[in-house]
Amino acid sequence: MLIDSYERVVDYLRISVTERCNFRCQYCMPEKPFSWVPKENLLSFEELFEFVKVCIDEGIVKIRITGGEPLLREDIDKFIKMIYDYEPSIDLAMTSNAYLLKGVAQKLKDAGLKRINVSIDTLKPEVAQQIAQKDVLNNVLEGVDEALAVGLKVKVNMVPMKNMNADEIVDVLEYAKARGMTIRFIEYMENAYAKAGIARLTAKEVLEELAKHYNFVDEGFDKSSPSRYYRMDDGYRFGIIEPYGDDFCKECNRIRLTAEGNLIPCLYFDEAMSIAESVKRGDIKTAALVLKEVVKNKPEKNRWGGDDAEVSSRAFYETGG
């Protein structure tokens, strides 16, 4: 079992399989063209899998595949199947913008994927185009329909922003609710890559707006989730993620692996240790030691609060959010 210095059990691994993306979301990616990490620097699925096996043997029970856009990486279903075949009980999930989901949802499910979180910030094509800087909405919605049709569990993530999609939180919630999908509103997190001038709708503002339309009670955090959940009168639950808080840190159970092999103990800290060299030379014992070191050094809480609050210099498209 992986236990950190604050007695937290670490049993959740998030793997960003690529930093590349087919969207340019204003809150995530720089506007100007930039250079991607060269493909040869990425760990292959075979290399990643060698490390995943160690993680599972050490007690990881949940794995989320993310990015960048994970569906851009060729043969992602084969990687999912490798993990599933090694340990079918693993809670295997993905986070995707859903643009390429249509036509592959069944293949992903057959490979062993259980759940998918999709990002839907708007239901207006022109706003989707403005946010993603590409005409995306139709493909996204068709992808979601297909994921539901093949029986994947689907959650929706929405980042509400002032003067952008703030007026749509009820509409997107209703869209999710009508299809049996939980929605989570994520407060926009400042970072060095986002477009200047984006203004988050705070959790308080989201709740105030929703309270005009619904009755709901605060149910607190689900175990180890950064999302606080609220239950409406009819039983539907929605979540709000307030990254600038640190209430969820005491239950944090996750570590992150980037496509280049950097193992990150906390999204908000720049510290990371690489497993790339050891995995590439087949030295899995050293990679296992790095895993234990990273878990041991997992910080008690994020750095947003207090006097030393920082803007994240790490790209969300690199870490997978």
Residue 226 CB, shortest distance to ligand SF4, in Å, is 16
- Binding characters for ligand SAM, 80-119, by CB under 6 A (x = yes): ---------------xxx---------------------x
Residue 194 CB, shortest distance to ligand SAM, in Å, is 5
Specify the 3-state DSSP secondary structure of 58: helix
Q: Nearest 5°: phi and psi at 90?
A: -60, 135
d(CA 114, CA 93): 6
Encoded tokens for 125 = 């094509």
Residue 318 CB, shortest distance to ligand SF4, in Å, is 9
Strand partners, 257: 15, 263
d(CA 269, CA 135): 34
d(CA 49, CA 44): 8
Specify the 3-state DSSP secondary structure of 171: helix
Q: Which of 186, 255, 263, 266 binds ligand SAM (CB under 6 A)?
A: 186
110-169 positions binding ligand SAM, by CB under 6 A: 119, 157, 159
- Binding characters for ligand SAM, 26-45, by CB under 6 A (x = yes): -xx-----------------
Residue 66 touches which member of ligand SF4, ligand SAM, none, C-beta under 5-8 Å by kind: ligand SAM
State how far the alpha carbon of 41 is from the alpha carbons of 35, 67, 261, in Å. Answer: 13, 15, 9
Q: Which of 129, 130, 133, 191 binds ligand SAM (CB under 6 A)?
A: 191
Applying CB under 6 A, does 66 fall inside the site for ligand SAM? yes
| Beta strand pairing call for 273-274 and 262-264 | antiparallel
Encoded tokens for 304 = 């947003």
Applying CB under 6 A, does 194 fall inside the site for ligand SAM? yes
Residue 186 CB, shortest distance to ligand SF4, in Å, is 10
Helices (H), 59-201: 76-86, 105-111, 125-132, 137-149, 169-178
Residue 159 touches which member of ligand SF4, ligand SAM, none, C-beta under 5-8 Å by kind: ligand SAM
Q: Which residue, 68 or 143, has its beta carbon nearer to ligand SF4?
A: 68
What residues make contact with ligand SF4 under the rule CB under 6 A?
A: 21, 23-25, 28-29, 67-69, 97, 119, 316-317
